[in-house]
Amino acid sequence: MVLLVPAIDIRDGKCVRLVQGEPGTEKIYSNDPVQMAILWRGENAKCLHVVDLDGAFGGTMKNLELIHRIVTTVDIPIQIGGGIRTFEQVKQLIEIGVYRVVLGTAAIDDPELVSRSIAAFGKSKIAIGIDAKNGVVMTKGWKNDTGVSAVDLAMHMKERGVCRIVYTDISRDGMLGGPNFEATKEIAVKSGLRVTASGGVSSFEDLRKIQELERFGVDSVIVGKALYENRFPCEALWRLNEKKLDDLGPTRRI
């Protein structure tokens, strides 16, 4: 069964969603990303994908304190991406309890960082975020066209010991128009890597189609806007009860 991973994108200390990653398109869903993590855990999330958008746009991590609070508050694995460009940052995240670090821009600009991080922490702790537009990798907050194809980058990263990629079709992200199933399947088949799909999931039907890609190596999917806007069964009931949840028992550590 494909794992569904809720996304928490942090911008200016708030939990937001963007449209195609464009600054200025933010919609705020919560003023407290930590409480949002508690909510998703209370709704039985098995893993969370947290993105430091300030870091992605600015080129260096900006929300380490918030990330630390999330990691120490919920008892599930936390995957972090956004603005992670140095070995020291990778080390710091692993040391505070982050389960997996996602390297994006660094995979293009400093591929040796990928090799060094895997050697130090193990391949399960490092994933590569491949964010593509028309099949071409975009970096630096999705603003820089690298001229490198998504498949070629995946193959190069595989040679460096990477076992997982997080694949995002930028044109689909935040649009609720459905993922790029064909491109997701292609990168999984050609690379032979484990793939986490991201971008565009809008409905249960989309999740069913992602499930059909599991046999090709797509074993998980990150969902953001569709979850926040109650696009799935039972979510409306969860939202009605949200304000009554003063404590979530074993899901909380504080």
Round to whole Å and give the CA distance between 102 and 66: 17
**Phi-psi region at 129: left, alpha or beta (left = phi > 0; alpha = psi -120 to 50):** beta
**Single-letter amino acid, residue 109:** D
Does residue 182 sit in helix, strand or coil?
Answer: helix
In whole angstroms, what separates CA 249 from the centre of its chain?
Answer: 26
For 88, other C-beta atoms within 10 Å of its C-beta total: 8
Query: Can you tell me the distance from the alpha carbon of 19 to that of 69, in angstroms, rounded to the nearest whole number?
Result: 27
Position 218, amino acid: V
Q: Catalytic pick from 12, 32, 75, 131?
A: 131
Catalytic annotation present for 152 = no
Sign for the pseudo-dihedral over CA of 11, 16, 19, 21: positive
**CB contact at 8 A, 8 and 51:** yes
> Annotated catalytic, 109?
no
**Pair of tokens at residue 195:** 């793939």
Alpha-carbon span 108 to 67, nearest angstrom? 25
Give the catalytic positions in this structure.
Answer: 9, 131
